[in-house]
Structure 1
Amino acid sequence: MRNRYAYLIAVLCALQIGCTAVPGTSGNQVQELPATALQPVGRYQMTNDQGLELISSAVHFGFSFEGTQAQVVTSLPNPRGHSYLQYELDGVYQKRIRVSGPQDTLVITAPSPGKHTVWIYKTTEAHSGPVMIRKVTGPKLAALKPASQPLIEFIGNSITCGAAADPSEVPCGTGEYHDQHNSYMAYGPRLARAVNADFILSSVSGYGAYRNWNNNGPTLPEVYEKVDFQDKNPQRWDFSRFTPQIVSIALGTNDFSDGEGKTPRLPFDSTTFVNRYIGFVKNVKAKYPKAQIALLSSPMMNGNRKQTLENCLSAIKKEIDAAYPAAKPVALHFFKPMRATGCTGHPSVEEHGIMAAELEPFFKKLL
């Protein structure tokens, strides 16, 4: 009788939420929710062994459980590597969790019994490597569908990634580059939450519109269509998976950079910057014909560079608006200059909050 009961539970579970019952103690039965049942928002791919590969910064998925504890089983391609996840429990942000090696487990502990919702976010960016989700275990599991909210895609560089923003656990100048990433607290996700929108981050540290921080490419426009923003990867991202209402593009900081002081660096070329940027915006519009395009300047610039970037963005807007007279006009936002106090001159978590607050009325009008 006991075996028949366990079999019935497993069948019902598979029919309803795609999970599998496993032996547990008395009370709520422990189940397994396979990675294939999860519904992530952001860049991801399913692997041949049915794992969910989280790729882009802040790519996220949700699930619910009943009881006091659930576990997320993870793995990394590099057995000696590490990365980070972050999570919300019942709508409240909790913390970053370091995940390491060929298998690790993120334990979610609720303060009381009952039904709970969890949203998991990849903290680090695509170039830091993927984080694999193998399964979720816990009582009465169910995958959560993405919220029926407007979707904003944020395209940019390290600032958009939330890179070098959070030295609370690993001080600046120590550890590895991604140890100070905090994509959940970056300006894009914070802004999206403030205006009741969902979000995707399509961003790579050091990349620009026509040249990068310390080299001439490949640039963000050149890798945008690659699933993991890696130039040599032949696999392309399927843009039909999501339809953003707004596409926010914030490029230019690295184009204006003087580089690392070793690689030869020509003066900034406004004509090349504008032409490459226009080409990229047209490519984005081809992917999302109905999306509103918003161009953001850089809070890292002041003086002549700030003015030059703003002039370039105004020229880009003029060209795009003329090329698409029936579309919504390109929206521009010019940041107030900021003296960043995060690692290596990047905005800190607190300064990302300032940026998000500055952008909030601008995006509310667009929505």
Structure 2
Amino acid sequence: MVLVRELAVLSIVVPAVAALLLWAWPEPARPHVPVPQLVSVRGEDRVMFYADLVPLQEGLKPLPLLVTGRASNGAKGALLQEWPGFHAEAQFIGTAVSVRFEDNVNRWRVLIDNGRSGMIELSRPGVNDLRIRGLTAGAHHIRVEKISESSMPTSFGGILIDGDSEALPAPRARPRLIEFIGDSDTVGFANTALRRDCTEDEVFSATDTSRSFGPKVAEALDADFRMVARSGIGLVRNYEGVTPQSTMTTRYPLALPSDPAAGRLADRPADIVVTALGSNDFGSSFTESEPWADHEALSRDFAAALIAFLRDRVRENPGAIQVLLAFGEYGKPLLVPYQQAEAALKADGQQAVLITLPKLDRSACFWHPSAGDHDLIASWLTTAISPLVQ
């Protein structure tokens, strides 16, 4: 009888304690909003430099650039860009440099001497020059990288100097280029967030493409990276079946995904191509207007489209290693097409490798991969690719 009473008490106390702990446990912090328009951080040399946004300056001289990422010609020598991960680098001798923007959409990071001499982060800089002064006299390297996802094309007006500085040749490209093809998981959508429920402003604040798995893999392999990725996009169907005419199959060739008429500037063939599509194809239910009755039918079409898509990438990047990155959480409807695609490429005589990811934590906004997930994916990719490039 005593035992029964004790069990009865425990049956009440344990759930109550659990509920109390759940109530008292602090919720993850929300992403900080709004993002400051300009933040400067001193580098390791601790030299005080000055950075401010000013109206477009006259008489500046453009530096030769190493540009990585899809782009189209804009006005007055500017570059129009929209795909994520766009970045440009230059070198100069002097104490001052400027970066020109026409952009009310994106976040940017500017690194001087790989951050040793300073770092600046910008949010929606507008039609302005970022003017940087007070650097140590001598030679400097500057890198300007977009870390947010564009919803439309914006203009990058280059890196410029005045008459007191001297231009140096553009930096030499790294020995390898890796192209990452994917969706929001590749972009790094809200990857720095610590919670799943987010506002639009919080997503903007928490997205940092430079901390997604692609740039991490490139850094580990002493390579550069190019991204052809977009949130919501799929290979044969987009998330929830929206804009069926704008899947990766039709958007991939474009310089600007929202402007099919824009001319695409020539870019370097990739040495490694990582394709990570399918989350949006299989991650939502069908609408009445879509042609698939079930995931089995979609899987068959996805397989055929994936093989054709990858063979196009082989033709554009001769000799490149084709890395197929499959998100295992979507099961056989996605995994079987990736297995068939790997087999087809190998039968064609191509070097191909399939990596199947385990179930991810997905604790960032709207169930997107967290920073820890991106670290995990980068580790798996680096481990798989490293033996192939030695």
| Superposition TM-score tier, normalisation by shorter sequence | 0.7 to 0.9
2:382 — aligned with what? 360
Larger radius of gyration: 2
Question: In the superposition, relative to structure 1, how do residues 85 and 259 fare at CA in structure 2: closer, same or farther (>3 Å)?
Answer: farther
Matched, 1:348 2:370: yes
Question: In the superposition, relative to structure 1, how do residues 97 and 143 fare at CA in structure 2: closer, same or farther (>3 Å)?
Answer: farther
Note the alpha carbon deviations across 1:202-229, whole angstroms, 9 max, x for none. Answer: 1111111111112234211111111112
State TM-score, norm by structure 1: 0.78
Note the alpha carbon deviations across 1:30-72, whole angstroms, 9 max, x for none. Answer: 983326x323011112224211223321121112244554321
- Could you tell me which runs of 5 or more consecutive residues in structure 1 were left unpaired when the two chains were aligned: 1-29
Q: Aligned partners of 1:44 and 1:120: how far apart in 2?
A: 15
Amino acid at match of 2:370: S
Amino acid at match of 1:51: A
- The question of whether the paired residues in 2 share the 8 Å contact of 1:90 and 1:117 is answered with yes
- The question of whether the paired residues in 1 share the 8 Å contact of 2:77 and 2:157 is answered with no
- The question of whether the paired residues in 2 share the 8 Å contact of 1:212 and 1:254 is answered with yes
1:275 — aligned with what? 304
The equivalent position to 1:313 in structure 2, one of 338, 343, 346, is 338
Note the alpha carbon deviations across 1:307-359, whole angstroms, 9 max, x for none. Answer: 4322220011122322x23x32x211111221112211112334322221222
- The question of whether the paired residues in 1 share the 8 Å contact of 2:69 and 2:83 is answered with yes
2:29 — aligned with what? none
Question: In the superposition, relative to structure 1, how do residues 217 and 267 fare at CA in structure 2: closer, same or farther (>3 Å)?
Answer: farther
1:33 — aligned with what? 61
1:220 — aligned with what? 248
SS in 2 for 1:49: helix
1:140 — aligned with what? 166
Q: What is the Cα deviation at residue 196 of structure 1?
A: 0.5
Amino acid at match of 1:351: D
2:270 — aligned with what? 244
Note the alpha carbon deviations across 1:5-51, whole angstroms, 9 max, x for none. Answer: xxxxxxxxxxxxxxxxxxxxxxxxx983326x323011112224211
Amino acid at match of 2:217: L
SS in 2 for 1:86: strand
Root-mean-square deviation over aligned CA pairs: 2.9
Note the alpha carbon deviations across 1:218-261, whole angstroms, 9 max, x for none. Answer: 2111111111123x5223535x5211111110001111111599
- The question of whether the paired residues in 2 share the 8 Å contact of 1:44 and 1:52 is answered with yes
What's the % identity of the aligned pairs? 22
- Could you tell me which runs of 5 or more consecutive residues in structure 2 were left unpaired when the two chains were aligned: 1-57
2:102 — aligned with what? 75
Note the alpha carbon deviations across 1:142-191, whole angstroms, 9 max, x for none. Answer: 352342411111111111112222349xx931417544321111110111
2:108 — aligned with what? 85
State TM-score, norm by structure 2: 0.73
Amino acid at match of 1:118: I
